[in-house]
Structure 1
Amino acid sequence: MSFGNDPFDSLTIPDGTTVEEYDLVTEGNVMIGGQSTVEFGVRARNILAGERVQFGGSIEAERDCRLDVWCEVADNVLVGKDAYLGERVHIGGQLLVAGDLDIGDDVTVEEGFEANGWIVIRNPVSSLVFYFIILSHLLQVNESEAASEFVQEIAAEAENNTDDADTDSNDVMMIVIPRGATVSDDIWQVSTPASIGDDCRLHGNVRAASITVGCDTNLFGSLRARGDIDIDKRTRIHGDVTTRNGAVSISAGARIRGDVVCDNLQLHDDAEVYGTIRASGEVNIVHAPIADE
């Protein structure tokens, strides 16, 4: 996965991501910027969270889990391999680690913990804190290429610790939640662009700088952006689609069960809008191509 100039420059939801009974579920990895609120539980391959991230449910990591300082988890943390917890992390349930546990100072686990491997208690700073310090410094001095390489090296290191039977690391998808985001059953709110992949099933209203939604995705909520909104083929949006200053593009077979408000609109004639369309600029109807004989 390419992170571009900044690993947290977009909310990225990869193909096949679902929300199941208030859990955010993906077969890939999850990377969450600092000071974000994720009211779901999270189930993924590897989970990496920055400082002061709040989780409203449990965490289940098939492999490694890294939580930076002051993170809070409302329920259990279950880790299939190794866990790394920064200082003053609070876990409201149990902590169960199949591998090694690297734990910082003043960590609270309400219902106790168990690790099958080595247990290392650090004081005062975790290696995960250094990861974010280095990354932040590289971005501040405009070393975006070096920052991107650094993140890719961390991801590659995590993948190198997996079993030989695991799939190629190049095929691993990743959910990226930007710094300061709010993610819940009601809203996905970020100040960055948002990209939602194919075959996803999500709940909540999406608020972002701009939004792209892949094909065959089912979103139970509205879309609102300052810029453009692009909706791919056969996607269902159960809510309004609104942009303040941008254009809306709706592809063939898409279904919008709400109003569409935008500047310019491109609408395929095989798409359906079950609401009012208000476009202050140009409206372009795209006709279905004639099938080749």
Structure 2
Amino acid sequence: MLKHLLVPDNTRIDTSRIVVEGDVIVGNHSSIQYSISGDMVIMGEGVAVSGDVVACSDTRIDMWSKMGSNVEVGKNAYLGEFVSIEGKLTVEGDLDVGKEVKIKGGFVAKGWIVVRNPVPVIMFLFLYIREMMRLGRGEEIEKALEELFDESEEEHESESREPAEKILIIPTGTKITPEVIEVGGDAVVGNNCYLIGNLKAQSVETGNALILKGSIYSEGKINIGENSTIYGNLSSKGQVNIGRNTKVFGGIKAESVLLHENARVEGTIKAPSGLSFLRDAAEMPILADVNALGKVIPREVKEPVPRDGLLKAPEIIKIDSLIKTSAKAKNGFVPGREGMSARTVALGRTRRTGGVRRLRRRHEAGEHQS
């Protein structure tokens, strides 16, 4: 689980802090130069956080971790051995700390304060059951275990089922700074997220409506969802897929690129294996006629295709055009014919006939003279 970066929906990583609507789990030996705010915050060994840590619920910080500022906990807090806090620790519930814990800014705890090396829960139950069996109180063991696990299951179902879908998982050895988000494994980003910094991972897959102010560098595929905005370049040794209405204010360098027809790329696209365009499934276009001037006149088909496979001939649509193929058109223009009376037309026909006859007589007279 702690090999991939999982960013839930509506997560914001801006210039100073990381804000998550659910829980936060940070793997061992990770470095985070931000403040962290979430419901429950769990950190592994050797984690370094430069900013504040705010947990609305519980928090657990394992041994050798360093907090560079204040830590605020809404319920209970556990601090492992050799944990150091540069700021102030505020706990609304109980505080359980190990040995050699350093809190430079002081602490305030409204519940119980226990300084010890806590026994793991499983070991505690084992010792408890063994002691009860030695005393011969088997009925009390069953009753205690039944009440314990029934309550824990109810609390788990009512409280953690909903936030479980919104967990920010930062894998082991991750480096997150305002300049770069560097992950050793894959990165999966949810919907409506806002991130600042260059993202480096083995492969990157994002949801919709992402705003990333930085570039993406990946050894594998890069999949960008719909309606996203990337203020940087995309570089991959595999394939890059760009979703609908996504804008990339930079260039793309990959083995191949699949670009939606409604997406936009401002920079240069370099893809040795080719660039492909993805189009949505279009509806069947309506039939149309084109008149002599090139104007398209739509024509709808009212009757569907019959089941027997026979098609009816569509009705002929008359197209009004200034250009006519027939000289007898009423509204057309024919040179020498408009505005002439019947008598004028008859005289013209007689003149043409008489002229042909005179030419024929002259030709015959010339032959007799020769």
Partner of 1:188: 181
How many equivalent residue pairs?
Answer: 257
Q: CA deviation at 1:160?
A: 2.5
Given candidates 232, 236, 241, the residue that maps to 2:234 is 241
In structure 1, C-alpha distance between the alignment counterparts of 2:173 and 2:79, rounded to whole Å: 20
Cα distance in 1, alignment partners of residues 188 and 2 from structure 2: 12
Deviation at 1:168, TM superposition (A): 4.4
- 169, 179, 187: which is aligned to 2:162? 169
CA RMSD of aligned residues (A): 2.3
Corresponding residue for 1:217? Answer: 210
Q: Which has the higher contact order (CA 8 A, sep 6+)?
A: 1
Q: Deviations over 1:13-36 (max 9, x none)?
A: 011000245110011000011000
In 2, Cα distance between equivalents of 1:235 and 1:211:
14
Which shows bigger deviation, 19-28 or 45-54?
Answer: 19-28
Does structure 1 residue 57 correspond to structure 2 residue 51?
yes
Take 1:292 and 1:192, find their aligned partners in 2: how far apart are those partners? 44
The answer for the alignment partner of 1:45 in structure 2 is 39
Secondary structure, aligned partner of 1:275: coil
User: Within the alignment, does 1:267 sit opposite 2:259 as a pair?
Assistant: yes
Return the offset for 1:264: 1.2
Q: Is the contact made by 2:3 and 2:184 (CA closer than 8 Å) also made in structure 1?
A: no
Taking the TM superposition and a 5 Å limit, the aligned residue runs for 1:12-91 are 12-91=6-85
Contact 2:52 2:67 (8 Å CA) reproduced? yes
Shift of 1:210: 0.2
Structure 1: 4+ residue segments shifted above 4 A:
125-128, 156-159
Partners of 2:15 and 2:196 within 8 A in 1: no
Q: Is the 8 Å Cα contact of residues 235 and 254 (structure 1) preserved in structure 2?
A: yes
Does the 8 A contact of 1:270 with 1:288 survive in 2? no
Match for residue 146 of structure 1?
none
Between the aligned partners of 1:172 and 1:192, the Cα distance in structure 2 is 21
Residue 278 of structure 1: which of 270, 279, 297 is its match? Answer: 270
- The one-letter amino acid of 1:85's match is L
Whole-Å separation in 2 of the counterparts to 1:276 and 1:16: 31
| 8 Å CA contact 2:23, 2:163 repeated in 1 | no
DSSP 3-state at the match of 1:195: strand
Could you tell me how far apart the structure 2 residues matched to 1:207 and 1:158 are? 39
Do structure 1's residue 112 and structure 2's residue 98 form an aligned pair?
no
Distance 1:233 1:279, change over 3 A: same
**1:170 CA displacement:** 6.1
Partner of 1:97: 91
Calculate the TM-score normalised by the size of structure 1: 0.82
Secondary structure at the aligned position of 2:99 is classed as: coil
Residue by residue over 1:100-124, the C-alpha shift from the partner in whole angstroms, topping out at 9 and shown as x without a partner, is: 101011111111001111111113x
The one-letter code sitting in structure 1 at the alignment partner of 2:268 is T
Give the counterpart letter for 1:178 in structure 2: P
Assess, with a 3 A threshold, how the Cα gap between structure 1 residues 170 and 53 changes in structure 2: closer, same or farther: closer
For structure 2, list consecutive stretches of 5 or more residues without a partner in the other structure: 124-150, 286-370
- For 1:278 and 1:92, locate their aligned partners in 2 and report how far apart those are by CA, in whole Å: 48
**CA separation of 1:83/1:18 partners in 2, compared to 1, >3 Å: closer, same or farther?**
same
Structure 1 residues 34-64: Cα deviation after superposition (integer angstroms, max 9, x where no partner)? 0000111100000001000000100000001
Q: 1:27 touches 1:44 (CA, 8 Å); kept in 2? A: yes
TM-superposition CA deviations, 1:197-228 (whole Å, max 9, x none): 10001101000000001100101100000000
Identify the structure with the greater strand proportion: 1
2:247 to 255, 258, 267: 255
Higher helix share: 2
Secondary structure in structure 2 of the residue aligned to 1:219: strand
Rate the CA distance shift 1:167–1:239 in 2: closer, same or farther, 3 A: same
Deviation at 1:282, TM superposition (A): 2.5
C-alpha distance in 2 between matches for 1:158 and 1:217: 36
- Matching residue's letter, 1:207: K
- What is the percentage of aligned positions where both structures have the same residue? 32
In structure 1, the gaps of 5 or more residues are 1-6, 131-155
Q: How far does residue 284 in structure 1 lie from its aligned partner after superposition?
A: 1.1
Alpha-carbon distance in 1 for matches of 2:181, 2:154? 28
- Name the SS of the counterpart of 1:15 in structure 2: coil
Q: CA deviation at 1:127?
A: 4.3
1:201 aligns with one of 190, 194, 201: 194
